[in-house]
Amino acid sequence: MLSVKMREHLRRRAEVYGVKLGVLAGILLALCGAVGWTARGTRVVEISDNEGAFGRAILSAADVQDIWTRTGVAPPGEYDELSAETTPQGESYRILRAYPVTVTADGATTEKMITGGTVDELLAQMGITYDADDELTPAGTEPTAKGTAVTLRRIEYREYTQEETIPVETEYLDTSIYFRRRFQGITRQVRTGHDGKDSVTYRERYVDGELESTAEIARETLEPMLTTVIKRYQSGAPVSHFVGPEIVNGSPAEGIAAVYSNCRATGYSAGFGVWGASGRRLTYGTVAIDPNIIPYGSLMYIRAHSGENFVYGYAYAADTGIAMMDGRAFVDLYYETYDESVKNEVVYVDIYVLDKATAARYKEQNDALLAADHTVGM
C-alpha cells in the first residue's frame, strides 16, 4: 500500500513537472514495488473510480506501463485523488475523480476542483469563515456535487433610534344637528389637536455591504398625538352616542314598549358636567320628560317625525322641566352647547320607548360611553 508520505510526495512532484505524468509515475512505482517478486509470478490489479469505472488485469512487471490500457480505466487527472491497498489477489487502486464547484463570496467568484466533502469543508479549505447572521446557500452541512454553486452573502444589522413627529390628524364627527337647510354647510371645530412625538428604533439590514432594507422594531410614545375634531352635518346621523337595538326602517327592531308620534321637542343646554333631576349627568342622549308619562331611566329612540334627516338617537329620560309638566313640550332634547340648542329650538319627533328588559341589555355599554364622554360638544 502507498504510504501517505509517498502519495503527498507524488502529488507535489506532479504539480511541478506535470500532474498527470507525476500521478502516472506514482502508479508505476507502486506497481513496481508490488510486483517486485515477478520471479514468483503475476498479480491481479484492479482499478476503479467514483464515477463507476472498473477494470481488472493480470499484470507482470513487464506490463506495468500498460496498466491503463490493460484495465480500460482512464488515468487520474490533475486534481484526482488516488489510493491503493494490497489484496490477497494482488493490488487494488481507487481514483476519486475531481469535479468543479464555484464559490461566490466577498465580491469574488472562484472555481475549485474537489473530490468530495460538505460545503463547510470546502469553505474551510479555502479559508472562508462565516457567522450565524450570514446566509449560505446551500447549507454548510450539505454535500457538494459536480456543478455545485456555493453563495455566501455577508449579512450585517445596524440599529438606530430617532425621535419622530406624528402629524396631527383630523377626525370628523357626523351629526344631524344641522339638519335645517340653512345650517347644513356649517362645521364646528370641537377640539384642537396637536402633533405627537414618538421614539422609534429601526434596524437596517446590509447584504455584502449594501443596504437592503430597513424595518421598525420598536416604538415608544413620548407625547401622544391629539386629533382635531370637527363636527359636520350628515343626514340621519344620530346626535347621541348611546346604543340600542338595530334600527330597521327608522325604528328599533325589537323591544318597543310604547310609541309617541309627532311630539313637540325643544332643545336646551346647561353646560358640561350638569346633572338632571334623575341624578344622571346630562350629555348628548339625555332628555327631559314628564316622568309621569315616561319614567326616569327609560331608554328610548328619538327621530324626526317628518323623515330621517334629523335623528337624535338613543336617549335616556334623565331630567324634567316646566314645559314638559305643563304640556308645552313633550320632550326637551339636551345639547352640550347653547348654540346647538338654539339651532334646534323646536322639532317634531317620534319617540320609541323600550321595555326594561331590552334597555337592561345595553345599560353597561351605555354607562361606559357616558363615563368616557369628557369633551364638550363631542
Residues 288-322: tens digit of each pLDDT: 999 999 999 999 999 999 866 899 999 999 999 99
Q: 57 falls in which pLDDT band (50, 70, 90)?
A: confident
Looking at the structure, tell me whether residues 301 and 260 fall in a common domain.
yes
Total tally of structural domains belonging to the chain: 4
Q: Position 61: which residue type?
A: A
Instruction: Answer whether residue 10 shows pLDDT above 60.
Output: no
**What would the pLDDT profile of 210-265 be if each residue is shown by its tens digit?**
999 999 999 999 999 999 999 999 999 999 999 999 999 999 999 999 999 999 99
Mean pLDDT of 150-166: 98
| Per-residue pLDDT at 89 | 76
CA trace torsion 332, 334, 338, 341 (10° rounding): -50
Looking at the structure, tell me whether residues 33 and 89 fall in a common domain.
yes
DSSP state of 128: -
**What would the pLDDT profile of 108-138 be if each residue is shown by its tens digit?**
999 999 999 999 999 999 999 999 999 999 9
Average pLDDT, the chain: 88
| End-of-domain residue from the set 212, 231, 250 | 231
Looking at the structure, tell me whether residues 139 and 248 fall in a common domain.
no
Looking at the structure, tell me whether residues 368 and 242 fall in a common domain.
yes
Burial 106-118 (b: 16+ CB within 10 A, else e): eeeeeebebeeee
For residues 188 and 172, what is the distance between their CA atoms, to the nearest angstrom?
10
Other Cβ atoms within 10 Å of 273 Cβ, number: 10
| Per-residue pLDDT at 187 | 92
| Per-residue pLDDT at 58 | 84
Whether the Cβ atoms of residue 321 and residue 268 lie closer than 8 Å to each other: yes
DSSP state of 280: P
Looking at the structure, tell me whether residues 137 and 174 fall in a common domain.
no
Any domain includes 226: yes
| Phi, psi dihedral angles at 207 (to 5 degrees) | -120, 115
CA trace torsion 121, 125, 130, 132 (10° rounding): 10
| Per-residue pLDDT at 64 | 60
CA-wise closest residue to 227 among 178, 182, 288, 166: 166
The residue with greater pLDDT, 286 or 18, is 286
Q: Position 12: which residue type?
A: R
Whether the Cβ atoms of residue 302 and residue 236 lie closer than 8 Å to each other: no
Looking at the structure, tell me whether residues 225 and 116 fall in a common domain.
no
Domain of residue 126, residue span: 99-153
| Per-residue pLDDT at 60 | 75
Looking at the structure, tell me whether residues 165 and 137 fall in a common domain.
no
Instruction: Answer whether residue 39 shows pLDDT above 50.
Output: no
| Per-residue pLDDT at 61 | 62
Looking at the structure, tell me whether residues 79 and 34 fall in a common domain.
yes
